[in-house]
Amino acid sequence: MLNKFLLLILLAAFAAQAQAGETAAENYKAYCVQCHGMTGNGKGVNIRDMSVMPRDHTDAKAMSGRSDETLFKVIKEGGPSIEKSVLMPPWDGVLSDEEIKDMVQHLRMLCKCKFGT
């Protein structure tokens, strides 16, 4: 009986972990760095031939001009959703809403800024 109970707890813990997804730092490393750069400065390995440069995530002035909702929207739905470049793709097929919310906070950490400051 006790064993079954323990097994259930373990299974529940495992399921919770599986649902939690990846950390924002890991997601940034996987998907964002290719264009926004290793340090988030907007100078990724892909930019050479781009007609529009990726946002510099360390630029506090530019980043504080965007609300958390706008950042969430552009990550989820891509550049055109906020009238920006098509080169920024939608990540809704890859990241969960929860992971995108975490990513917005990660961006705030990179820019050391908040909206409107």
Partner 1 sequence: MQLIIKEKINMRRIVFAALLGFSGAALAEGGILQGNCSACHNVTGPAAQTLKDAFAKKGPDLFYAGNKYRQEWLASWLQKPERIRPAGMYYGDHIKAGVKSDEIDTATLKNHVALSKADATKVAHELMELKPHDDLIAKEKIEPGTISKQMGEMAFDKFLGCMACHLIEPEFGGLSGPELYTAAKRLQPEYIASFIRSPQAWEPKSWMPNKHVSDGNIQKIVNYLQVLSKETANAK
Give yes or no for residue 87 binding partner 1 (CB under 8 A): yes
Number of residues interacting with partner 1: please give it, by CB under 8 A. 32
As measured in angstroms, the least distance from the Cβ of 85 to partner 1 is 7
- Contact with partner 1 (CB under 8 A) among 4, 16, 83, 93: 93
- Contact with partner 1 (CB under 8 A) among 60, 90, 96, 101: 90
For the beta carbon of residue 110, count every other beta carbon within 10 angstroms.
20
The answer for residues whose C-beta is within 8 angstroms of residue 10's C-beta and 6 or more apart is: none
- Contact with partner 1 (CB under 8 A) among 30, 105, 109, 117: 30
Considering only CA atoms, which of 36, 93, 86 is closest in space to residue 63? 36
As measured in angstroms, the least distance from the Cβ of 26 to partner 1 is 5
Give yes or no for residue 35 binding partner 1 (CB under 8 A): yes
Tell whether the torsion through CA atoms of 102, 108, 109 and 111 is positive or negative: positive
Using an 8 Å Cβ cutoff, are 46 and 34 in contact? yes
Tell whether the torsion through CA atoms of 61, 112, 37 and 72 is positive or negative: negative
As measured in angstroms, the least distance from the Cβ of 65 to partner 1 is 23
By the criterion CB under 8 A, which residues form the site for partner 1? Answer: 22, 26-27, 29-31, 33-35, 37-39, 43-51, 78, 85-94
